């Protein structure tokens, strides 16, 4: 029981650290869930001192995939990016605004994003990281209100 309680406390502390660095006052449900997924993902990427293997992480033991710093550490949770959408030769928008959530963990280095227009999680290989405008902060607050989180 103490080991489980300590693991839960570790996850909560890391989520609090993420919340304190983000510029939002309210969070949509999907963003809260993804904060937990992000923390658990990164906890499983590194080997545990009292784990099954000295050098292999739990994630590597289960999936056989390794994390590449260049591919998987490109974005931090909560950073803003313009994600590249599927497009044709029409005049429709080729990018949309999104909040970075976490790496998918695949070999290509894809990331999960929270689309600020739809409020859904999407996975993309291509994006352009940008500074976060105030309109995006207001859009996230509107998503939180739609989820009744205020």
- CA angle, corner 75, sides to 74 and 80, nearest 5? 140
Q: Which residue has the higher pLDDT, 147 or 28?
A: 28
pLDDT of residue 71: 84
Q: Where are the alpha helices (DSSP H) in 46-133?
A: 58-63, 69-72
pLDDT of residue 147: 82
Are 80 and 127 in contact by the 8 Å Cβ rule? The answer is no
The pTM for the full model equals: 0.85
Tens-place pLDDT, residues 35-54: 999 999 998 888 877 777 87
How many domains does the chain divide into?
A: 1
Sheet of 111-115, strands arranged across: 121-124, 111-115, 95-103, 80-84, 127-130
Nearest by Cα to 126 from 78, 69, 68, 87: 87
pLDDT of residue 135: 93
- 38 lies in which domain range? 2-146
pLDDT of residue 91: 75
Please, which residues bridge with residue 114 across strands?
A: 99, 121
């Amino acid at each position: 029981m103490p080991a489980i309680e300590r693991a839960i406390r570790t996850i909560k502390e890391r989520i609090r650290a993420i919340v304190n660095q983000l510029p939002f006052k309210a969070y949509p449900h999907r963003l809260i869930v993804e904060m937990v997924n992000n923390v658990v993902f990164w906890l499983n990427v590194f080997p545990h001192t009292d784990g099954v293997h000295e050098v292999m992480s739990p994630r590597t033991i289960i999936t056989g995939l390794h994390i590449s710093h260049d591919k998987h550490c490109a974005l931090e949770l909560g950073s803003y990016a313009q994600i590249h959408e599927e497009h044709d030769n029409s005049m429709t928008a080729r990018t949309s605004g999104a909040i970075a959530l976490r790496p998918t963990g695949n070999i290509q280095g894809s990331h999960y994003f929270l689309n600020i227009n739809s409020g859904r999680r999407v996975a993309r290989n291509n994006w352009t990281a940008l500074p976060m405008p105030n309109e995006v902060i207001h859009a996230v607050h509107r998503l939180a209100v739609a989820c009744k989180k205020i």
